Structure 1
Amino acid sequence: MLKNCRGFSMAEALVSFSIWTMISLILLPASIYINKERANIKLNHEALIVLKEHIEDVEFDDSAKEKQGSFSNDTKFQILWKKEGESEHACIQWQDYVDRKEEKCLYYFGE
């Protein structure tokens, strides 16, 4: 039986190659997905902070409702005001890192 100079047989080399292939095909895409989801969670949190700050601005200056767009860290957030019956709420929209359109809303209890 022929062996290479390091003492590994062809079967051992094939098993090693198979294991590394499985790691590359399963773990690498999973880690990329986890990193994108982590970035989306940070973006979601940032959007809620921008919306909260916008609502606080409206508390002091009612003309701040007209402000529609806001940028933060190369992400464009769009703020919209919606009215349902007697209640009014501010919504923020943005594109996440996998190009999904996201929207979060907070109720506004101003006058």
Structure 2
Amino acid sequence: MLRENKGYFLLELLISLSGWILIASVFVPMMIVFNKQSVETQEKSEALHILYDYLQEAVVENSERNDFSVIQHNKRYDIVWSEGNGIKSEVSIQYEDVFGKTVQISESIQ
């Protein structure tokens, strides 16, 4: 049966292989971007969790508002207070993401 095809099998194989290469060339970069966004979202979520835990402690327990650093999962998070109207009313958390970019998230309290 293969002797009757006379090369048709090779052509069919090349067409399907080129189709798979085309599909892979579209979906692999998309998966890389989705993975990067997932990592950034996870890091931001962790930073916000640390920030809001600290804000809750500072506001509810009326503790001192000092700058300090937290190390969690081998990542350093710097919590920095800034003044507004004579009192420390804005807090920021800074960290360096996996890609080496410094990220800062700020919240103001009353």
- Please give the TM-score of this superposition, normalised by the length of structure 1: 0.76
Q: How many residues align?
A: 103
The answer for the alignment partner of 2:58 in structure 1 is: 58
Q: Which runs of 5+ in 1 are unaligned?
A: none
Instruction: Work out the CA distance in 1 between the residues paired with 2:66 and 2:85.
Output: 20
Runs of 4+ in structure 1 off by over 4 angstroms are: none
Instruction: Work out the CA distance in 2 between the residues paired with 1:102 and 1:2.
Output: 62
* 1:1-111 aligned within 5 A: 2-3=6-7, 9-59=9-59, 60=61, 61-62=63-64, 65-85=65-85, 88-109=89-110
Contact 2:66 2:81 survives alignment (8 Å): no
Instruction: Work out the CA distance in 1 between the residues paired with 2:24 and 2:12.
Output: 18
CA pair 84-102 structure 1, distance change in 2 beyond 3 A: same
Instruction: Work out the CA distance in 1 between the residues paired with 2:37 and 2:81.
Output: 28
Instruction: Work out the CA distance in 2 between the residues paired with 1:95 and 1:11.
Output: 51
- Please give the TM-score of this superposition, normalised by the length of structure 2: 0.76
Pairwise CA RMSD of aligned residues? 2.1
Instruction: Work out the CA distance in 1 between the residues paired with 2:23 and 2:71.
Output: 39
Q: Which runs of 5+ in 2 are unaligned?
A: none
Local SS of the residue matching 1:26: helix
Local SS of the residue matching 1:66: coil
**Identity over aligned pairs, percent:** 18
